[in-house]
Amino acid sequence: MTKTTNQPKTGVLIVNLGTPDSPNTPDVRKYLREFLMDARVIDIPFMARFALVNFIIAPFRAPKSAKIYQKVWEERGSPLKFYSQDLEVLLQAALGDEYIVSMGMRYQSPSIEQALSKLKDKGLEQIIVVPLFPQYASATSGSVHEKVMQLIGQWQIIPDLKLVSSFFENPLFVEAFAELGRRYKAEYNYEHYLFTYHGLPERQIHKGDMSGGKCLTNGCCDTLHAKNKLCYRAQCFATSRFLAEKLGIAPENYTVSFQSRLGKDPWIQPYTEDVIHQLRDKNIKSVLAFSPSFVADCLETTIEVGEEYREVFEHRGGEHWRLVESLNVQPLWVETLKSIVFQYENKPVAAQPTI
């Protein structure tokens, strides 16, 4: 008996940020140039951006960043890339042959164009685009959406296109991170919990402000409502509340902070480094850190949070600092993505945990 296969109807494009092809300075420079020349990432006029990126950031930062990339590089390459490649295979297996899953990177390789070629001319009825960023930012999910629309816009037949903006509210996503956190909590009685997110220039938050100029004023991100539900900072605070509730962490026992500031402009606050000093001022000796703006371990989690911030904490006399690893290829994360796809197809989703 021959096995029947279904004609795929839905394409699922998952997209992560991108990473250099190798941890050598020329490849890191090439990556930084492509990444930072994106007008949604460094959102200043073209000539100013060109000069800043090509004459200041790329030449001076590339050798320093290359040294850090060498630390994070494994036998299979950059973790951000190989976890995304594994995720493509696992999600395909989870969704079955009615779907074609394809993975691309916004910068460098595999490019979104290469990833879309796997979905082109396959008679697909729809494509669901899932940028692998839980919270929406113009610099990440927005940039992926723009690139996908630009490329698919050139196709002869354009299928239904669904663009996922964020998924921080997805109960399985929250549960997936909580499941990891519970293991660490069971091992050690941490005094404090830190939810540290990638930062953004304040300017980019103001540009998307729908609250009539209230964004970034006192307490504007403390609750999520109609006027700030697309604000990256408000979404990060909401993610932290969901996680803290799931893990039974009282509000006074956790702090939200933002890392990885680039340049001199103000970025969203509080800065992670300042928070670490404040925690030590209060004589907090042990911290469990989560990085819930990333779904795969990378330079920003393993090195920046796991090593550099640990050193700052220990240098100030802190004793126990641990980073909860990212979702990587955790089964519940694959289930999360499957549930996102089903949700966008209006298919019933298996019973989900509550948040």
Ligand X SMILES: C=CC1=C(C)c2cc3[nH]c(cc4nc(cc5[nH]c(cc1n2)c(C)c5CCC(=O)O)C(CCC(=O)O)=C4C)c(C)c3C=C
Residues that bind ligand X (CB under 6 A): 17, 19, 32, 41, 61, 65, 78, 80, 133, 137, 139-140, 198, 200-201, 260, 262, 293-294, 298-300
Residues 234-293 touching Fe ion, rule: CB under 5 A, are: 234
- Residue 84's closest CA among 67, 66, 108? 108
61 binds, among ligand X, Fe ion, none (CB under 5 to 8 A by kind): ligand X
Of 69 and 184, which CB lies nearer to ligand X in the complex structure? 69
221 binds, among Fe ion, ligand X, none (CB under 5 to 8 A by kind): Fe ion
Smallest distance, ligand X to C-beta of residue 26, A: 15
Smallest distance, Fe ion to C-beta of residue 127, A: 26
172 binds, among Fe ion, ligand X, none (CB under 5 to 8 A by kind): none
Q: What is the residue type of 18?
A: G
Burial of 61-71, coded b for 16+ CB within 10 Å and e otherwise, reads bbeebbebbee
Of 112 and 124, which CB lies nearer to ligand X in the complex structure? 112
Smallest distance, Fe ion to C-beta of residue 259, A: 9
The token pair at 232 is 């990256």
Smallest distance, Fe ion to C-beta of residue 166, A: 14
**C-beta separation of 244 from 178 below 8 A:** no
Of 228 and 255, which CB lies nearer to Fe ion in the complex structure? 228
Smallest distance, ligand X to C-beta of residue 89, A: 20
Reading phi first (left if > 0) and then psi (alpha if -120 to 50, else beta), residue 317 is in: left
Strands (E), 108-184: 126-131, 160-163
Among 62, 127, 231, 298, binds Fe ion (CB under 5 A): 231
327 binds, among ligand X, Fe ion, none (CB under 5 to 8 A by kind): none
Q: What's the rounded Cα separation, in Å, for the pair 3 and 286? A: 56
Q: Does 315 belong to an annotated binding site? A: no
Give the Å distances, CA to CA, from 327 to 97, 166, 178, 213, 330: 25, 16, 10, 35, 6
Among 57, 68, 105, 215, binds Fe ion (CB under 5 A): 215
Smallest distance, ligand X to C-beta of residue 7, A: 35
Stretch that binds Fe ion, among 144-152, 187-195, 226-234, 240-248 (CB under 5 A): 226-234
234 binds, among Fe ion, ligand X, none (CB under 5 to 8 A by kind): Fe ion
Q: What's the rounded Cα separation, in Å, for the pair 236 and 217? A: 16
Of 36 and 152, which CB lies nearer to Fe ion in the complex structure? 36
Q: Does 308 belong to an annotated binding site? A: no
Give the three-state DSSP class for 271. strand
Q: What's the rounded Cα separation, in Å, for the pair 258 and 305? A: 11
Tell me how far apart the terminal alpha carbons of the chain are, to the nearest angstrom. Answer: 46
**C-beta separation of 348 from 342 below 8 A:** yes
Smallest distance, ligand X to C-beta of residue 247, A: 21
Q: What's the rounded Cα separation, in Å, for the pair 170 and 348? A: 14
User: Quick check: 112 binds Fe ion (CB under 5 A)?
Assistant: no
Among 90, 101, 129, 220, binds Fe ion (CB under 5 A): 220
In sequence order, what DSSP letters do the residues of 290-313 get, joined into one string? E-TT-SS--IIIIIIIIIIIHHHH
- Interface residue list for Fe ion (CB under 5 A): 215, 220-221, 228, 231, 233-234
Binding residues for Fe(2+) are: 198, 300
